[in-house]
Amino acid sequence: MAINTPLGDTLDGYLAGLLAGRSAVSRWKGVDTTGIYSKVGADLSEYDIDAKMASFDGRIPADMYKRMRKLVPRIPWTTRLTVLMTIDAVLNSGLLGSRVNFERVSAIVAGHNINGNYQFKNRTQFEEEPDYIDAMLALQGLDTDHAGCISEVVGVRGPIYTMGAACASGNISLRAAIDELRFHDAEAAIVSAAVFDFAPIDLHAMALMGAITVQSFNDEPERASRPWDLRREGFVPAHGGGVMVLEKLDDAISRGARIHAEIVCIEANSDGNHLPQPSEGGQARLMRRVLEMAQLEPEQIDYVSAHATSTPLGDITEIRSIKSVFGRDTGKLKLNATKSILGHTCWAAPVVESIAAVLQMNAGTLHPSINVDDLDPEVDLDICRGAAVRHPVQYLMKNSFGFGGINCVSILKKYGGQG
């Protein structure tokens, strides 16, 4: 696994920031907010890419290091982050130098419309003087360029492609990765959840739709993301990405890989409604289906990493869905809202938050849900409000619900050293 959020770009640093309940949200630095309502977000625009590249010297093969140094400075900002996170994950997985054949490794990029700000700046430049746009826009403006750059730098020679499913993109991509392993003879599959490079026009449209917070917390950005709180206004857009490397369990065991967790099941459905109106019926139906496919009873789930975006309708719809599936007597079940700390990393959120969930599961401690000052009275489940909680987790559920009525839910299991 690998991660990059404003909390840090290492797994240990990420976990420490989560358990401390340290907000990643600030005022935007890398987005021109002059004419738009959105003023706060989790911002990675000052991330030191040169230092990250230098950190790989001597840790990756010399030819890979040379390809990285040649390509990364020439590609758009978010594509750079995708490549660097993928190198980190491949190092963490131990694939380099192993017997894994990279001609049978797949690379799947989670997200769509990823390079929004790069596209926006070029279109703005086109209005001013067409000949001064980036000539590589025709290639580098495509989401597929992320996958192509991974292939070039890391040496992946199996299938490469992108998967777009709004805020369920990360989980949909993990589902596709499992298909690569099961049905297409892949030896490993890399899922790279790219950082969404928000453009001002993206943020302003979200504000006009009423999806994001723009009113009450511009002077206190760390308080803006507040799932399940009565003063929640909408989600906080966030930079952040993550990468997960999947293998068949027996293959990972045989090569002595570091195994963070087992994926038990991932499934998806849709609500039949393209508008951002979450469906209690659709969500509950999918959670029940995933439990059935995993051959688990609701009481076997110890922890739900909630989608919990901080929108008035979305948060309550998910709570109602969970109670419909798990019942009111939830016993040991605990929830938390990773977006309360990170903001909403959008297309990358399922992977970013699955990594958070796995790290918490292995640490036996769940991070707090922060900014819940006045709990919505309909939220009567244990949401780890305000403080980290020691809690053993054997099975966890990760919910992801995207615009367009796209739902995707996964169940992960703690790895116990058994095949």
- Per CATH, the number for 2-254 is 3.40.47.10
First vs last Cα of the chain: how many Å apart? 20
Would you say 236 and 40 are in contact if contact means Cβ atoms under 8 Å apart?
yes
Is-same-fold flag (2-254; 262-413)? Answer: yes
pLDDT at 1: 98
pTM above 0.75, yes or no: yes
Q: Where are the domains of the chain?
A: 2-254, 262-413
Residue 48 exposed, middle or buried by CB count within 10 Å (0-12, 13-18, 19+): exposed
Compute the distance between CA of residue 397 and CA of residue 409 in angstroms, rounded to an integer. 7
Would you say 151 and 69 are in contact if contact means Cβ atoms under 8 Å apart?
no
pLDDT at 113: 95
Rounded to 5 degrees, φ, ψ at 138 are -60, -25
Indicate the SS3 state at residue 143.
coil
pLDDT at 328: 67
Would you say 242 and 3 are in contact if contact means Cβ atoms under 8 Å apart?
yes
Compute the distance between CA of residue 34 and CA of residue 304 in angstroms, rounded to an integer. 39
pLDDT tens-place string over residues 311-342: 999 999 999 999 999 986 677 899 999 999 99
Rounded to 5 degrees, φ, ψ at 225 are -90, 115
Rounded to 5 degrees, φ, ψ at 238 are -145, 140
Catalytic residues: 167, 307, 344
pLDDT at 417: 59
**Paired tokens of 227:** 């799932």
pLDDT at 277: 87
pLDDT at 281: 96
HEC letters along 32-98: CCCCCCCCEEECCCCCCHHHHHHHCCCCCCHHHHHHHHHHHHHCCHHHHHHHHHHHHHHHHHCCCCC
pLDDT at 332: 85
- The CB density around residue 68, as the number of other CB atoms within 10 Å, is 23
pLDDT tens-place string over residues 47-81: 999 999 999 999 999 999 999 999 999 999 999 99
pLDDT at 419: 37
Residue numbers of the chain with a pLDDT score lower than 50: 418-419
pLDDT at 329: 62
Compute the distance between CA of residue 81 and CA of residue 79 in angstroms, rounded to an integer. 5
pLDDT at 418: 46
Would you say 350 and 168 are in contact if contact means Cβ atoms under 8 Å apart?
yes
Compute the distance between CA of residue 151 and CA of residue 140 in angstroms, rounded to an integer. 14
**Paired tokens of 198:** 């928000």
pLDDT at 42: 98
Residue 182 exposed, middle or buried by CB count within 10 Å (0-12, 13-18, 19+): exposed
CATH number among 3.40.630.30, 3.30.390.50, 3.40.47.10, 3.30.70.2740, domain 262-413 = 3.40.47.10
Compute the distance between CA of residue 409 and CA of residue 390 in angstroms, rounded to an integer. 24
Would you say 391 and 375 are in contact if contact means Cβ atoms under 8 Å apart?
no
Would you say 347 and 241 are in contact if contact means Cβ atoms under 8 Å apart?
no
Long-range contacts of 139-142 (CB under 8 A, 24+ apart): 140/75, 140/76, 140/79, 140/115, 141/76, 141/115
